[in-house]
Chain A
Amino acid sequence: MEPILEIRDLHAEVDGHPILRGIDLTIRPGEVHSIMGPNGSGKSTLAQVLAGRDTYTVTQGTVRYRGRDLLEMAPEERACEGLFLAFQYPVEIPGVNTSYFLKAALNAVRKHRGQPELDAVEFLELVRQKTRIVQLDERLLNRAVNEGFSGGEKKRNEVFQMAVLEPHLAILDETDSGLDIDALRVVADGVNRLRSPQRSFLVVTHYQRLLEYIVPDFVHVLVGGRIVRSGDRTLALELEQKGYGWLEAAPAAAAH
């Protein structure tokens, strides 16, 4: 099957500091990949580069997304083409109403896909249905985007937006961090309900616990800007027991 995402020898730097130093990763439709790795190893950098954040400079390598050159596309075009990033640190946007923002985003995406824009009534109906999936308090939608949201509310809001936008590839950057065990289950359940043979996920996490709920097909370990090990879900268990130390000196294993 044609890969949804194909990363080849990706190097990226910020302010002249190399952070990603040769990433290779292929994700096919329907697959769930997990990325684990120590703090500062470049996980969020990879996620942000894929979403198109321009503070990072790609210095080498290629990324193909659904048959197109991803690095050529503006962030909004990536979003419209079905790439979604759930931020590790969702941004607070004072003065911008959450519901308005989401409607504008959804209609931008729908327009791009050649679908008619949703009117207020249809949008409300959709929102009702999706808030239930992640058990998001509907009152949050009338507040400014993420402003004053608790850590857990911000993370639920990310998954909620994902559910509304229905991406082809969702990148979840530590969406489990800061969630209590019940919230974790709800969020994981939200992700699982979106799983389909066409939709793929890249799940960045520090915790094997999340992977008990969202069972990955592949686990990759990112250390020092490189994928040093790839395996199946048992690799996550191994990491939980042994930590990352034993991998750091090891040569990069061939990525999937």
Chain B
Amino acid sequence: MTTQLDSVAAHYAAELDARLARVRDPERIRLRRAAFERFEALGFPTTRAEDWRHTPLGPLPRTAYALTNASVLVQAGVAPPPLEGEVRLTLGGGYVTAPARVRGDLPTGVVLGSLAELSAAAPDWLSAHLARHADVRADAFAALNTAFLDDGAVVYVPRGGACAAPLHIVHVAPDGPTPAVSFPRTLIVVEAGATLDIVEQFVGGAGAEHCTNAVTELVAGPAARVRYARLVREAKTVHHIGALHVALGRDTQVSAHVVTLGGGLVRHNLTAVLAEPGADCALYGLHVSRGTQHVDHHLRVEHAAPHGTSRELIRGILDDRAHGVFTGRIIVRPGAQRTDAKQTHKSLLLSGTAQADSRPQLEIYADDVKCTHGATVGQVDEEGVFYLRSRGLPADAARSLLVYAFAEESVASLVPADLHDQVRAEVLARLPHGELLRDAP
């Protein structure tokens, strides 16, 4: 076992050496080497670690995955439909392949492009934020992702800028019979007073038990407003470990929707740091899981300054033998007075073998705060079903309507509207008699 793990570490080490031989920037090399050292020191987490207690990684730590490179072919069939007015950037296996796959026109000053290309120009905002927010120190997956930081997506909206078009980043996982790992990386920097709507989707990955190890850093400056959506729609066999780290400034407003409709083993490490006063952060999560899907939402919201507001609303719909895990930690630092934090986690079990675990954790070191959390696990409300049936709705449709409504409440504020429509349609498609509800609001 140990030797197997060692050989996997040696495999990554050799791959890293080969890649770093092509990198010229000494700063970048230092960053990546340091990250790899952290990964080696930490190792892949086991269920003995408190934060991974309910999420065994299965074969992932023992697998010497093939590493993706810039030649991953993006299969046309897996591309999600366009969103109205979008500007899209597509990455295959974590790489923006030449010619840069940007479609659409960007307003002046707004950047959407390849990390590798932009690194040459080295704008200040890039070095100021890249790998400064994700938890490379304690999160082995984030450390490994950072070590393999060859390319990625970068987004920049300058001070006071507005991007009317939604930006759409599509990460296509490799497919094919050989298990491969990719390290999608995204940096989104939104300067003071700027606004942005952005969608990040993860698709593809058919054919084998591929692994996606993704990290997104979203940095929003003072009074910036960002609406972010993250969708995982990869194949059922994909192990998806993804981190989203949101850093908020003074009076910044960020909402993030994380919607999981695919993947086999899915872990979301969602972190928000409200470092300056008056920040407002909302995290919404929805997963619709069946078969043996395992979806873990691991949230950490840190209030480090007064007058911050945070809302987390995570919902899971679980059928068959699906397993949902939720850990929600709210940390209120000393001095973060007038914090208003609220967290709810609800699971709807559609079968007797589905399972949900919920662990809210409050760490409060300030006295003038309002923090609440609640968790429920339940079945479809049979009284509600009877009420709907007593008005003429068929039993299956009544039940599906209630499940759909449960899901809908957690994506009510999802934008753009056409993405919301797509999510609705996909949720309905997974429910019996969903077609009866196709015009549901």
Chain A residues close to B by CB (< 8 Å): 51-54, 74-76, 78-80, 84-85, 87, 90-91, 93-97, 100-102, 104-106, 108-109, 112, 144-145, 161, 165
Question: Do residues B383 and A109 form an inter-chain contact, with CB atoms below 8 A?
Answer: no
Residue from B383, B393, B437, B441 within 8 A of A76 (CB atoms): B393
B388-422 near A? 1/0 per residue, CB < 8 Å: 11111111011001101110110000000000000
A53-B386, A87-B387, A100-B441 as given contacts; A93 in contact with B392, CB under 8 Å: no
CA distance in complex: A78, B406 (Å): 27
Question: Do residues A104 and B383 form an inter-chain contact, with CB atoms below 8 A?
Answer: no
Question: Do residues B391 and A161 form an inter-chain contact, with CB atoms below 8 A?
Answer: yes
Question: Do residues A101 and B391 form an inter-chain contact, with CB atoms below 8 A?
Answer: yes
CA distance in complex: A195, B70 (Å): 75
Residue from B390, B405, B409 within 8 A of A75 (CB atoms): B390
Residues facing A in B348-404 (CB within 8 A) are 381, 383-384, 386-395, 397-398, 401-402, 404
Question: Do residues B395 and A74 form an inter-chain contact, with CB atoms below 8 A?
Answer: yes
Minimum CB–CB distance for A140 against chain B, Å: 15
Further pairs besides A75-B390, A95-B405, A95-B408: 13, Cβ < 8 Å: A52-B386, A52-B389, A76-B395, A78-B390, A79-B389, A87-B387, A93-B405, A95-B404, A100-B440, A101-B388, A108-B394, A112-B392, A165-B392
- Show 11 residue pairs from A and B whose CB-CB distance is below 8 angstroms, ordered by the A residue: A52-B390, A76-B395, A84-B390, A91-B387, A93-B388, A95-B402, A101-B391, A105-B392, A109-B392, A144-B405, A161-B391
Residue of A nearest to B437 (CB): A104
CA distance in complex: A23, B401 (Å): 35
**What residues of A have a CB within 8 angstroms of the CB of B381 in the complex?**
91, 93
CA distance in complex: A51, B389 (Å): 9
Chain B residues close to A by CB (< 8 Å): 381, 383-384, 386-395, 397-398, 401-402, 404-406, 408-409, 436-437, 439-441
Question: Do residues A94 and B405 form an inter-chain contact, with CB atoms below 8 A?
Answer: yes
CA distance in complex: A51, B383 (Å): 13
Most buried by B among A78, A105, A144, A165: A105
A96-B405, A97-B441 as given contacts; A76 in contact with B387, CB under 8 Å: no
CA distance in complex: A54, B386 (Å): 9
Minimum CB–CB distance for A173 against chain B, Å: 12
CA distance in complex: A96, B439 (Å): 12
CA distance in complex: A108, B390 (Å): 11
**What residues of A have a CB within 8 angstroms of the CB of B406 in the complex?**
94-95
Question: Do residues A108 and B392 form an inter-chain contact, with CB atoms below 8 A?
Answer: yes
CA distance in complex: A93, B391 (Å): 13
Residue from B402, B436, B437, B439 within 8 A of A93 (CB atoms): B402
Question: Do residues B405 and A85 form an inter-chain contact, with CB atoms below 8 A?
Answer: no
Residue of B nearest to A106 (CB): B392
A96-B401, A100-B440 as given contacts; A75 in contact with B383, CB under 8 Å: no
A100-B440, A100-B441 as given contacts; A93 in contact with B393, CB under 8 Å: no
**What residues of A have a CB within 8 angstroms of the CB of B409 in the complex?**
94-95
Question: Do residues B392 and A76 form an inter-chain contact, with CB atoms below 8 A?
Answer: yes
CA distance in complex: A75, B386 (Å): 8
Minimum CB–CB distance for B428 against chain A, Å: 13
CA distance in complex: A145, B401 (Å): 12
Question: Do residues B408 and A93 form an inter-chain contact, with CB atoms below 8 A?
Answer: no
Minimum CB–CB distance for B382 against chain A, Å: 8
Question: Do residues A104 and B387 form an inter-chain contact, with CB atoms below 8 A?
Answer: no
Nearest 4 A/B pairs, CB to CB = A95-B405, A105-B391, A79-B392, A108-B392
CA distance in complex: A230, B440 (Å): 46
Question: Do residues A90 and B387 form an inter-chain contact, with CB atoms below 8 A?
Answer: yes
CA distance in complex: A113, B386 (Å): 21
CA distance in complex: A95, B405 (Å): 5
**What residues of B have a CB within 8 angstroms of the CB of A85 in the complex?**
390
Residue of B nearest to A96 (CB): B405
**What residues of A have a CB within 8 angstroms of the CB of B405 in the complex?**
93-96, 144
CA distance in complex: A74, B386 (Å): 10
A90-B387, A93-B388, A96-B401 as given contacts; A105 in contact with B408, CB under 8 Å: no
Question: Do residues B383 and A91 form an inter-chain contact, with CB atoms below 8 A?
Answer: yes
Residue of B nearest to A102 (CB): B391
Most buried by A among B383, B386, B392, B408: B392
CA distance in complex: A101, B393 (Å): 9
**What residues of B have a CB within 8 angstroms of the CB of A97 in the complex?**
441
Question: Do residues A76 and B402 form an inter-chain contact, with CB atoms below 8 A?
Answer: no
**What residues of A have a CB within 8 angstroms of the CB of B401 in the complex?**
96, 101, 104
Most buried by A among B381, B387, B404, B439: B387
Residue from B384, B404, B440 within 8 A of A91 (CB atoms): B384
**What residues of A have a CB within 8 angstroms of the CB of B408 in the complex?**
95
CA distance in complex: A82, B401 (Å): 22
CA distance in complex: A145, B439 (Å): 17
Question: Do residues A96 and B402 form an inter-chain contact, with CB atoms below 8 A?
Answer: yes
